[in-house]
Structure 1
Amino acid sequence: MERFLLNTPKQPDIKILNSIYAKMVLDKALRDFRIEKIHKEIDQSLQVRDKGKFQRLTDELKILS
């Protein structure tokens, strides 16, 4: 027999929470991957002395960080 209590907040649907958590994990993984790729591209731009590419990449890294 279920008991119903007055003024208790409705519990969020577990499927909705799981999908939100999955999206957060995926977004973080993609962000971390992009940051790592930017670091490698920054190193490469420094080696070839490409100031424009370096500036663009560091600006993008600032936005992501």
Structure 2
Amino acid sequence: MEQKLLNSPQSEVNVIDSLFAEMVLDKALLDFRKKKIQQKIDQSLQDRNKREFLRLSEKLKDLS
């Protein structure tokens, strides 16, 4: 049976790969959320809905 040590180089690579993958996913999710809010902001401008525009603008600013 193969035994892996906690401090082995392979273990460090796996941790780094996992962290990198998590960062990529977090960035993709953030970009997706921003895009959706921007689309809703555009719609609120077309609808001339000032209240919704201001609410969404704050939400977008909080994400940035």
TM-score (norm 1): 0.76
Shift of 1:60: 0.9
Aligned residue number for residue 48 of structure 1: 47
Aligned residue number for residue 30 of structure 1: 29
Cα separation, 2, equivalents of 1:16 and 1:60: 33
Shift of 1:64: 1.4
Aligned residue number for residue 21 of structure 1: 20
What count of residue pairs does the alignment treat as equivalent?
Answer: 56
- Matched residues, percent identical? 52
Which AA in structure 2 matches 1:31? L
3-state SS of 1:55 partner = helix
3-state SS of 2:35 partner = helix
Which ranges of structure 2 fall in alignment gaps of 5 or more residues? 1-7
List 4+ stretches of structure 1 deviating above 2 A. none
Which AA in structure 2 matches 1:37? K
Aligned-residue Cα RMSD (Å) equals: 1.6
Shift of 1:27: 0.4
Which ranges of structure 1 fall in alignment gaps of 5 or more residues? 1-9
TM-score (norm 2): 0.77
Larger relative helix fraction: 2
Q: Which is worse superposed, 11-20 or 29-38? A: 11-20
